[in-house]
């Protein structure tokens, strides 16, 4: 009986020690070698929408023309013997990306990407009115 009381007291002390106020947050084991502290995700800062803002195309690391405009991102790339664009809205998922048809030139794909983004912005802002 005495052994049982001693074990119960030790167990209670261990639980208290593990859950004291001011202790760091609980940790979970992701893999056999990693301990990770859970934290809430951080949202990126929102940019103001400005339809009059100019398109600023730059070359990416892969050499493709890319542009971030009013919470949209577009990339023009060569594929299937022509040029295409892909547009993604507000850091959306890869599955949400919109791919274009094939165009004869890179310049034509850039112009079409800009027109697509302007049209999409008009639709998005019309819903807010």
Would you state the structure tokens that stand for residue 87, as one six-digit string? 């547009």
What is the pLDDT at residue 50?
Answer: 75
Distance CA 68, CA 57 (A): 8
Reported as a single tens digit per residue, the pLDDT across 83-101 is 999 999 876 666 778 999 9
DSSP 8-state assignment for residue 95: G
Query: How crowded is the C-beta side of 36, counted as CA atoms within 13 Å?
Result: 9
The pTM of this model reads: 0.59
Q: Report the C-alpha gap between 96 and 91 in whole angstroms.
A: 10
Place of tokens 């119960």: 8
| Residue-level pLDDT at 78 | 95
Q: What is the pLDDT of residue 100?
A: 95
Q: What is the mean pLDDT of residues 20-40?
A: 55
Gap between the Cα atoms of 42 and 81, Å rounded: 41
């Amino acid at each position: 009986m005495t052994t049982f009381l001693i074990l119960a007291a030790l167990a209670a002390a261990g639980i208290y020690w593990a859950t004291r106020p001011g202790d760091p947050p609980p940790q979970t084991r992701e893999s056999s070698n990693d301990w990770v502290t859970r934290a809430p995700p951080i949202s990126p800062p929102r940019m103001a929408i400005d339809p009059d803002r100019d398109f600023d195309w730059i070359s990416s690391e892969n050499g493709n023309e890319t542009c971030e405009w009013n919470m949209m991102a577009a990339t023009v790339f060569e594929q299937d013997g022509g040029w295409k664009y892909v547009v993604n809205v507000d850091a959306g998922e890869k599955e949400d990306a919109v791919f274009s048809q094939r165009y004869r030139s890179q310049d034509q794909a850039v112009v079409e990407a800009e027109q697509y983004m302007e049209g999409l912005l008009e639709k998005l802002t019309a819903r807010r009115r």
